[in-house]
């Protein structure tokens, strides 16, 4: 049976005091049955790593470069993250795809760079509202994941996939459990065609997950937890979502 995984994506939020209080609140609410991680902004990663040392909560970054090193001002390599024992890195989040014009292939290359340094990439896929209304949801997410499958080859079982419908991120709208499960099933089928280990791979749902809808979402057969945005900034809400993944 696949373990549930709940990952908090803090995005560009937080400060040193707030981060300390948030992590203390999450830790105090545990331990959790599900695996739990937080992905913090780059400036706070070393402090988060120190605060979570020896704890049951893992940590990760929100992005990494596809390059190993070089003249890439403002970029952070997977090698740098690995020096701090980073466990996860989010790649291909819809905000990166939209605001930084990241292509499917670039996302795949970032996932490959992460794996080269033994960091688990959380690969995000998802459709816009216009694409859903045009009946293109399956085609879009399959195209996005296909680039990663092609690039990683036999290493594909080492990633985590996160389905995040763009229209449900930060909008308060949430895909119904049935809508989310339908897309997760499509992704599972695509992974099954790529690797015999697909049934062991975690596929997370992200998009306005809250304490009051988490349990219903996580009870779906192909939803293995969540990638949590706004609710991950409140210790009580995030802890409730982690408990819902039991």
Whole-number Å distance between alpha carbons of 222 and 27: 28
Q: What is the CATH number of domain 5-244?
A: 3.20.20.70
Domain ranges (residues) in the chain: 5-244
pLDDT confidence of residue 58: 98
Q: Cis before residue 31, ω within 30 degrees of 0?
A: yes
Q: Would you tell me how many other CB atoms lie within 10 Å of the CB of residue 192?
A: 13
Q: Compute mean pLDDT per 10 residues along the chain, 246 residues long, and list them.
A: 95 98 97 98 97 96 98 98 97 96 98 98 96 96 98 98 90 87 98 97 95 97 97 98 96
Q: If you count them, how many residues does the chain have? A: 246
CA 191 to chain centre: 17
- Cβ-based neighbours of 92, under 8 Å, separated by 6 or more: 102, 104, 107, 110, 111, 123, 124, 125, 144
Looking at 93, 95, 102, 184, which residue is catalytic? 93
pLDDT confidence of residue 174: 75
Which of these, 129, 213, 120, 215, lies nearest to 164 by C-alpha position? 129
E strand spans, the chain = 5-9, 35-39, 57-61, 88-91, 120-125, 160-163, 203-205, 225-228
Where b means 16+ CB within 10 Å and e means fewer, 149-162 reads bebbeeebebbbbb
Catalytic-residue membership of 47: no
Is 173 assigned to a binding site?
Answer: no
Is 229 assigned to a binding site?
Answer: yes
pLDDT confidence of residue 8: 98
Is 92 assigned to a binding site?
Answer: no
The pair of three-digit structure tokens given for residue 18, joined into one six-digit string: 């707030």
Catalytic-residue membership of 164: yes
pLDDT confidence of residue 216: 97
Looking at 95, 102, 127, 164, which residue is catalytic? 164
pLDDT confidence of residue 124: 98
């Amino acid at each position: 049976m696949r373990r549930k995984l709940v990952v908090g994506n803090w995005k560009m939020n937080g400060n040193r005091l707030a981060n300390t209080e948030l992590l203390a609140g999450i830790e105090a609410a545990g331990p959790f049955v599900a695996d739990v991680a937080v992905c913090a902004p780059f400036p706070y990663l070393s402090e988060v790593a120190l605060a979570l040392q020896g704890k049951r909560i893992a940590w990760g970054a929100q992005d990494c470069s596809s390059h190993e090193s070089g003249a890439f001002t403002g970029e952070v390599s997977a090698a740098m993250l690995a020096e701090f024992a980073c466990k996860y890195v989010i790649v291909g989040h819809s905000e990166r795809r939209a605001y930084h014009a990241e292509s499917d292939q670039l996302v795949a290359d970032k996932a490959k760079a992460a794996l080269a340094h033994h960091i688990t990439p959380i690969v995000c896929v998802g459709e816009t509202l216009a694409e859903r209304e045009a009946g293109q949801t399956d085609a879009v997410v399959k195209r996005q994941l296909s680039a990663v499958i092609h690039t990683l080859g036999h290493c594909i079982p080492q990633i985590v996939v996160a389905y995040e419908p763009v229209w449900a991120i930060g909008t308060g709208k949430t895909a119904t459990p049935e809508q989310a499960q339908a897309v997760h099933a499509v992704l599972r089928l695509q992974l099954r065609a790529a690797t015999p280990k697909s049934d062991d791979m975690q596929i997370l749902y992200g998009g306005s997950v809250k304490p009051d809808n988490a349990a219903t979402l996580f009870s779906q057969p192909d939803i293995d937890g969540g990638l949590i945005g706004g609710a991950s900034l409140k210790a009580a809400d995030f802890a409730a979502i982690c408990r819902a993944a039991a």
